[in-house]
Amino acid sequence: MQSKTGSVSRRGFLAALSAATLLPAASGAEKGFESLFNGTDLTGWEGDPFLWKVEDGMLVGRSPGISYNDFLTTTKEYADFVLRFEIHLLDNFGNSGVQIRSRRAPGSMEMIGYQADIGPTWWGNLYDESRRKVTLAQPSESTVRRALKPNSWNDYEVSAIGKRIVLKLNGIVTVDYTEEDETLEQTGLIGLQVHSGPPLEARFRNIRIQEK
């Protein structure tokens, strides 16, 4: 017969184990992934401190209404990787995005390269920013309706391996694109966007990357 002390101890252990399995993975602690944002300052990033702030563990792009696209970029370049982050576009209004394998345009605030798009009518699209200036691939409206949490935090994943780029929104594939142009560079900076136009606020958190 088990002692009362042993029974309590075992119950306590099982309760703790059960609770632990329900806890989400800590930011930056995901196996194989490295955090790109420390939650406290802009270390590892560069951009306009008037538009980009660190608030409550988030990277916040807050535009009062600007006439140009602005980007906060990593200081390091990346080629093949899986990038994961959470994005909340306040009131699901405005336009944002995340540049990958991109460069800053000389003499401009603009960036050149692939963009995982964010915003009404743009969610889950792959756009070619300031280069071909076209949407390269996009999901159906029904796919976006199924995947998107319009005024909440959304999990976004960008996988760029070789010439293939796959976008996922809350675990649902929105784009699976293979680049056919052999002349395009497949390495560069990662950049967060606030788009030109009316005031908007884009919030990013839990930004992490796994290089391949």
Whole-model pTM: value is: 0.86
Q: Residue 29 has what pLDDT?
A: 61
Dihedral pair phi/psi, residue 80, rounded to 5°: -100, 130
Q: What is the pLDDT of residue 7?
A: 39
Tokens 């540049």 belong to which residue?
99
Report how far residue 13's alpha carbon sits from residue 5's, in angstroms, rounded to the nearest whole number. 12
pLDDT, tens only, 37-75: 999 999 999 999 999 999 999 999 999 999 999 999 999
| Range 137-158 burial, b when 16+ CB lie within 10 A, else e | bbbeeebbeebbeeeebbbbbb
- Residues whose CB is less than 8 angstroms from the CB of residue 131 and which lie 6 or more positions away in sequence, other chains included: 112, 113, 184
Hey, where are the domains in the chain? Answer: 27-211
Q: When comparing pLDDT for 88 and 107, which is higher?
A: 88
Domain topology for 27-211? Jelly Rolls (2.60.120)
Burial track 74-97 (b if 16+ CB lie within 10 A, e otherwise): beeebeebbbbbbbbbeebebbbb
Reported as half-sphere exposure (CB side, CA atoms, 13 A), residue 166 has a value of 10
- In angstroms, rounded to a whole number, what is the distance separating the alpha carbons of residues 70 and 111? 8
